[in-house]
Structure 1
Amino acid sequence: MISFILYVNDGDGVRAGDAIPVSVTRKHVRNLNLRIHRDGSVVLSMPMGMPAGRAQEFLDRRAAWIRKNVDSRLKRAAVQDLLAGQGASTYPLWGESVEVPDGGKLTLDEVDEIYREELARRLPETVMWMESQVGAHASSWKIRAMATRWGSCTPKTGAIRINTRLAAYPPECLSYVVAHELAHLLEPTHNARFHAIVARAIPNEPEIRARMRKPPVG
């Protein structure tokens, strides 16, 4: 077997250092086979004689699907790994590890409730600042537990939804997601104008996006 690394780029404003690495192995197979593991790693098996350019084209065509599934797996694992079994004596909050008092343990539902309360407390101030930076105003904000997205927006109504588990990550991650969704009120697609709007509000956007693909603490 021959192994090497390719990087998938969705062509949608992905900045340097934000591409997804893919471990590629040449095998005696007939077709390209793509797998995304629980830890977010991406593996591609390809026929022995196939040019690497064909594999790169294959990855780039599926970039949006790959990114969505990588993010989904990382978000599920990030909190659930810490709360496996009978619960957790520590949990991530705003990028720091918090210890449960008196040696107690919390279930995933209990931690999610903490996240909901924390996000409700911090969100108004973050929204006020980011609205001034982006130049857009949402009609409503809702906090929800979402499996595959950090946030979502309905441009026609101006409604924005934020994932409760953002409270596990450093506060700048919340600011980025708020700015990202607000930018969609001005530009629904992920084109160059959209990314320029986000970049004005969040100059270190690439670093934050990379941070959000890692576990909350560490």
Structure 2
Amino acid sequence: MPRFPAVAPRHETVFHQGQPLNYTLVFRARRTIGFAVRPDGSVHVSAPAGVPADWVAAQVLKRADWIRQHLADFARRTPPVPARRYHAGSSHHYLGRPLALRLAEGPRPAVAVAGNELVITYPAPHAPARTEAVLLAWYARQAPALFAESLARVWPAFEGLNLPRPTLFVRHMRTRWGSCTPTTARIRLTPDLVRATPGCLDYVLLHECCHLKVPDHSPAFYALQSRLLPDWELWKQRLNALPK
């Protein structure tokens, strides 16, 4: 096989069904083309040295559905969640706002937002495990009303699609923000979403509502999601940037 000089990776884009598909292209001393989709959402293509970039782009388009499916699978997975800290002064989010934790003594568990603080009250002694339990229970109590408000904002976008209005359920999920069962029109959302901004919550709920129309993550699904929420990728990035 002839030797070719090393070539720096190239950042390329093709358009598949009107949607951009970005990938990093590197030419190597190999006989076949290789594709890799990584958990961070990046796409990497290794091509035989000497082949035209246009030929590579054509091969990417042939594998576009496969690539999109893997990107969707990784997008639905959340990274491992590091342990949160539950001592006085540690930061916790509510509706997108970072709030400093303040512990107080009282006869019964309670949580309140006071300025830039999240005040957690319960009988002494204070311990991280007890603080965590009180806070997570409070998140879960806030969730139904906040999720209902989000559905009221999101659902008008689906007018005219002849879909059943979904029933929302609160369910703790470690690896997913939400899930949908199209046959029963049931959507489950993790109460951890109350930590995010309302816009991020709306994005997750709209995503799950789109599954009422398109159950999988096919190009038709993303076409629908993009039509109803053109800047959904921005909201997804903001959601993923939420401290774990």
Q: What range is the shorter-chain TM-score in?
A: 0.5 to 0.7
CA contact (8 A) 2:14 2:57 kept: no
Deviation (angstroms), 1:161: 1.9
User: Could you tell me which of 28, 33, 36 is aligned with 1:34?
Assistant: 36
| Secondary structure of the structure 1 residue equivalent to 2:9 | strand
Counterpart CA distance in 2 for 1:213 and 1:153 is 21
Deviation (angstroms), 1:28: 2.3
* Higher share of residues assigned helix: 1
| Secondary structure of the structure 2 residue equivalent to 1:22 | strand
CA contact (8 A) 1:150 1:166 kept: yes
Counterpart CA distance in 1 for 2:192 and 2:66 is 26
Deviation (angstroms), 1:34: 1.0
Distance 1:99-1:65 versus aligned 2 partners, 3 A rule: farther
Distance 1:216-1:105 versus aligned 2 partners, 3 A rule: farther
- Residue 157 (structure 1) aligns with: 184
- Residue 144 (structure 1) aligns with: 171
- In the alignment, does 2:151 pair up with 1:121? no
Counterpart CA distance in 2 for 1:27 and 1:142 is 50
Distance 1:179-1:28 versus aligned 2 partners, 3 A rule: same
The count of residues paired between Structure 1 and Structure 2 equals: 201
Counterpart CA distance in 2 for 1:6 and 1:105 is 52
Counterpart CA distance in 1 for 2:47 and 2:128 is 44
User: Could you tell me which of 70, 75, 97 is aligned with 1:71?
Assistant: 75
Query: Radius of gyration: which is bigger?
Result: 2
- Per-residue CA deviation, residues 80-103 of structure 1 (Å, 9 max, x unaligned), is 35x47x678324443333333369
- Structure 1: any 5+ residue segments left out of the alignment? none
Aligned-partner residue type, residue 61 of structure 1: D
| Secondary structure of the structure 2 residue equivalent to 1:49 | coil
- In the alignment, does 2:7 pair up with 1:4? no
Task: Summarize the alignment of residues 96-107 of structure 1 with structure 2, pairs less than 5 Å apart.
Answer: 96-101=97-102
Distance 1:183-1:149 versus aligned 2 partners, 3 A rule: same
Deviation (angstroms), 1:26: 1.8
CA contact (8 A) 1:187 1:193 kept: no
- Residue 216 (structure 1) aligns with: 241
| Secondary structure of the structure 2 residue equivalent to 1:185 | coil
- Aligned CA RMSD, in angstroms, stands at 4.1
- Structure 2: any 5+ residue segments left out of the alignment? 1-6, 104-116, 118-125
| Percent identity between the two aligned chains | 20
Report the TM-score when normalising by structure 2: 0.60
Distance 1:105-1:63 versus aligned 2 partners, 3 A rule: farther
